[in-house]
Amino acid sequence: MAASSAAVAACLLACALLFQTCVASRKLTALVQDQPITMTYHKGALLSGRIAVNLIWYGNFSAPQRAVITDFVSSLSTPPSPQPQPEPSVASWFKTARKYYANSKARFPALSLGQHVLDQSYSLGKRLGEKDLVKLAARGSPSRSINVVLTADDVAVDGFCMSRCGTHGASPRSRAGRFAYVWVGNPATQCPGQCAWPYHQPVYGPQAAPLTPPNGDVGVDGMVISLASMIVGTVTNPFGNGFFQGDADAPLEAATACTGVYGKGAYPGYAGSLLVDPASGASYNANGAHGRKYLVPALVDPDTSACSTVG
């Protein structure tokens, strides 16, 4: 199983030392690294061909909340004319991940929105462990898929807020095939200062005023940041032996190596120079499907070995 979960102690120590918010298993090392960030290819299998992104909704999500995340997934692929996403776009941001495939024999996968699975009855309870996440992920397609488990704001997940806001991994091999999975939790009530920064006051470090979320929902806009990071991690390191830096049990990946960087000039406590919607005052850096606006993390560009922001 791909290990994108940060160690608890290392995460909290990094938060304190670097004065930065604890976000996802987007690992908390340096916010801005002066040295080149080298992502080594460990010769493992990568995703390729058509891959469905299936969404498993666990707990209560409103229709508007589901629409925000569904539109984000739809934004990952460039739509045909006449409705291209205005630049800078989520689709252009995602193309940075394509560069990694130039160093492998695999073709970059074509992601598409798959099925929705709703579990509003909390069938596994309101406290979940890692095995529960895998069970939920298995409700999606058994092969050629990324099954995304999204937990509501009243669901406690082991490690959530303490060391991670999301994670990704993969199912064991079986005759039915093998799928990659992602889990992301809604931090609205449990830890918005950790997993929804910069849209909420941070727990650690400089206490700058929070930014206005582009979709009007601190928790869900925070989920998008984690989901974006984990999807890129899944595409570039789906089975734990793809592209990463450092220890395979606690890897730095294309997005997690740039934690806290969203715009040019970012530093601890400052997300960087972002676009601002003149109508709502919301801060964002990428346009998406159906006129949506999102905040996506910087990615390590393999051409420059540095964190690259959109725009």
In terms of pLDDT, which residue wins out, 36 or 9? Answer: 36
pLDDT bracket for residue 19 (50, 70, 90): very low
pLDDT given at position 8: 31
Q: By C-alpha distance, which of 309, 268, 271, 197 is closest to 31?
A: 268
Whether 274 is in a domain gets the answer yes
In terms of pLDDT, which residue wins out, 85 or 195? Answer: 195
Residue 161 pLDDT more than 90? yes
**Total domains present in the chain:** 1
The one-letter amino acid code at 155 reads V
In terms of pLDDT, which residue wins out, 82 or 42? Answer: 42
Q: By C-alpha distance, which of 72, 165, 179 is closest to 136?
A: 179
User: What is the DSSP-derived secondary structure letter of residue 280?
Assistant: T
Q: By C-alpha distance, which of 186, 214, 211 is closest to 200?
A: 211
pLDDT given at position 175: 78
Whether 1 is in a domain gets the answer no
Whether 183 is in a domain gets the answer yes
Whole-number Å distance between alpha carbons of 26 and 222:
13
Whether 206 is in a domain gets the answer yes
pLDDT given at position 204: 81
Whether 9 is in a domain gets the answer no
- Judged by average pLDDT, the poorest of 26-35, 118-127, 134-143, 203-212 is 26-35
Residue 9 pLDDT more than 60? no
**Measured CA distances, 165 to 21, 45, 149, 215, 238 (Å):** 11, 26, 12, 19, 18
Whether 29 is in a domain gets the answer no
pLDDT given at position 17: 26
User: Hey, is 216 helix, strand or coil?
Assistant: coil
pLDDT given at position 25: 53
Question: pLDDT tens across 260-310, in order?
Answer: 999 999 999 999 999 999 999 999 999 999 999 999 999 999 999 999 999
Whether 161 is in a domain gets the answer yes
Kind of pairing between the strands at 293-294 and 286-287 = antiparallel
pLDDT given at position 30: 39
pLDDT given at position 18: 27
**Can you give the residue range of the structural domain that contains 189?**
38-308
- Tell me the whole-structure pTM to 2 decimals: 0.89
Whether 5 is in a domain gets the answer no
The token pair at 283 is 């801060």
Residue 185 pLDDT more than 80? yes
